Amino acid sequence: MVQSSPTSTAVLVLLVAAAQQVHSATPLAHPWDSVKDVMGMHGKWSSASLPTDSDVKFVADHYPMATLGTGCGGLINKTAGFTIEDSVQAVAARVKAANPSIKIGMYWRSDFALEIADCSAFSGVWAAHPEWRLLNDAGQPVDGTKYYFDYLNPSFRAFFAQVLVNVTRATVPGKPSLPLIDYIYVDGVPGESRVTEFQTGIGSKRSAQLVDAVYATYAEIQAHLDKAGHGQFAILNGMDTAWDAARHVSSGVPATMFDHWTILQFLNRTTGAFNEAMMDEAFSVAQSELVSNITVQYKGWVGPIIHQKDMYPPNMKTPTTPAELQAAALERFNSELAIFLLVAKTTDWWVYSWFWGFYDYVGGNPESSVPVDFFPQANCKLGAPLGQGKRVPGTWTYTRKFEHASVLVDLGNRTASRVDFVDC
């Protein structure tokens, strides 16, 4: 494992707490038979229409894990009685009918009110409690258009936990003992900078209290899921640093996502080249004992992306049309896979796409950015890893061996990174 940079005292305290944390939910593990076994998707469809039967079949055929979501508007109408929960549960039931073994999650944001305010089964409850809106230190709403949540209000915390846990109580049609939703994906998770300024106009003392309250709420949600006894869990987004990893794990939530894996802050924003030292540190976090017993999703990107949405550095042409996006995703599949496989463990998953739209993962639609026939190398034999990834001394290159593949990662040349399969 790569040696990491010196760790702050605050992070060391969190590391100790995280190491002592016991998780009731068993980490979600995958086999190593083929590349497809380690892949997942995370896509929100347009609220104007539900995914088609061919869309559902594509998801069921190509992914062992899928996070689903949609926005408000269109078919989603709380007045007519079709909520965001209804939409996701309806699609989840169709996917599980086609592939009963797939693990399905639902997307929720945890920082401000959007879906909860406009198109959730609980929108009316939220509307009846304006005291749950976060105020700045001057007593004004932090944002008067999309209200942020006040986690220092105990009744809001109980409400928010109720909203998220409620969706996990639905069961597979005809199988009342099997949950329809296996996990909750939680977005808007506060990072280290929020400790001193949680939102504009909130001072450091209350900011630190708010961060503590947010993570305590995540712990309460996981405790409810543990009590249900179905192995369900929450996934916290945004594990991009050692601080994030320690804070996520110490909450007791047994899953996290490394969202900015290999992009944005890990790159030179002008050239797209890796910041080698930062990526080396990321490899150390990924291979650390801290995250050794939790589920980690790694968001794979068609890199190098220096700005969202989907922007390449100025010295490269950014693909724009669906055909260009598909071609780039196919061309870079192998090299991006190599960076994930360098650190992957049995409970790690690779979520490869351009962005977060449903058709960034589902082929066959005019707006799809994934090839219509998926990625051929997804069917290649992989086999279990034969040890951890290691840095070649004196270089920024790394290697790792699998039963049916070898991995090379070159931080000096992103597209020179590769997976060589023994028989594919």
State which amino acid sits at residue 185. Answer: Y
CB contact burial 276-285 (16+ within 10 A = b; e otherwise): eebbbbbbbb
Report how far residue 159's alpha carbon sits from residue 323's, in angstroms, rounded to the nearest whole number: 44
Asked whether the beta carbons of 64 and 34 are under 8 A apart, the reply is no
Q: What is the per-residue pLDDT for 5?
A: 40
Contact 159, 123 (CB under 8 A): no
> Which residues, including other chains, have CB under 8 Å from residue 174's CB and lie 6 or more apart?
none
Q: What is the pTM of this model?
A: 0.94
Output the pLDDT for position 65.
98
The confidence score (pLDDT) of residue 20 equals 52
The predicted pLDDT at position 76 comes to 83
- Do the Cβ atoms of 367 and 322 come closer than 8 Å? yes
Write out the chain's pLDDT in tens, 424 residues: 443 344 454 554 555 555 555 556 789 999 999 999 999 999 999 988 999 999 999 999 999 999 999 999 888 875 567 999 999 999 999 999 999 999 999 999 999 999 999 999 999 999 999 999 999 999 999 987 889 999 999 999 999 999 999 999 999 999 999 999 999 999 999 999 999 999 999 999 999 999 999 999 999 999 999 999 999 999 999 999 999 999 999 999 999 999 999 999 999 999 999 999 999 999 999 999 999 999 999 999 999 999 999 999 999 999 999 999 999 999 999 999 999 999 999 999 999 999 999 999 999 999 999 999 999 999 999 999 999 999 999 999 999 999 999 999 999 999 999 999 998 9
* Cis ω for the linkage preceding 309 (within 30 of 0): yes
Kindly state the tokens that stand for 309: 């949405």
Neighbours of 323 (CB within 10 A): 12
| C-alpha–C-alpha distance, residues 408 and 213, integer Å | 42
Contact 342, 411 (CB under 8 A): no
* HSE-up of residue 315 (Cα within 13 Å, Cβ side): 7
Q: Which residues pair with 419 in a beta bridge?
A: 407
Domains and CATH numbers, the chain: 9-382 (3.20.20.70)
- 186 forms bridges with which residues in the sheet? 108, 236
DSSP code string of 206-251:
HHHHHHHHHHHHHHHHHHHHHHHTS--EEEEE---SHHHHHHHHHT
DSSP state, residue 12:
H
What was the pLDDT predicted at 4? 38
Q: Which residues pair with 311 in a beta bridge?
A: 307
For 53, counting Cβ atoms within 10 Å of its Cβ (0-12 exposed, 13-18 middle, 19+ buried), the class is exposed
Q: Which two tokens stand for residue 197?
A: 């300024």
pLDDT, position 13: 55
